[in-house]
Structure 1
Amino acid sequence: MKTWYGSAAKAEATAGRAERKVERTEEKAERKVARTEAKADRKIDRTEDKISPRRVGTPATATAKCNDGTYSYAERHQGACSNHGGVAEFYK
């Protein structure tokens, strides 16, 4: 059986590098979470500005009116009116 005779200083240096790497990784993850949350908040704000009350003559199950005058029945805002020039307004 062989015995390893590494220096304590080298072991401490390696441990210090590992700790710094963990700290950098945690900081990077925190920044990414903050960016993702900010992006989600901006997306919600833009969507809420477009939501309108339903108008008379609008189909009861329509979720949005497209820019070309047709209606969308999409379950989610994403992709609604994608082939119709985009969304003119969302309905509640």
Structure 2
Amino acid sequence: MARINDVGGTQGFGAIDTTDDTEPFHADWEARVVGLYNTLRAQGIFNTNEFRDAIESMPPGEYLAASYYERWFTAICALLERKGVLEPGALDD
């Protein structure tokens, strides 16, 4: 069964914006999420495959509503709970 991110051949998502965007981040929090990802991965908390799976496992509505780095942050939070680094629900507030 395909996951929500597997949309190959699916129509109806509209045109793709192909203009070049020279800014790697549009807000400071996005750069912090990348730094958090790099740090946690380097410490062996999770690996790239686990991270990708966590993003792809997001509920479809949540996945489609989230921006690129919101998906990253959601995956990091899920992995920190899954790995026992954080108690479940610790980030709910």
TM-score (norm 2): 0.24
Structure (1 or 2) with the larger CA radius of gyration:
1
By relative contact order (CA 8 Å, sep 6+), the higher-ranking structure is 2
TM-score (norm 1): 0.24
Higher fraction of strand: 1
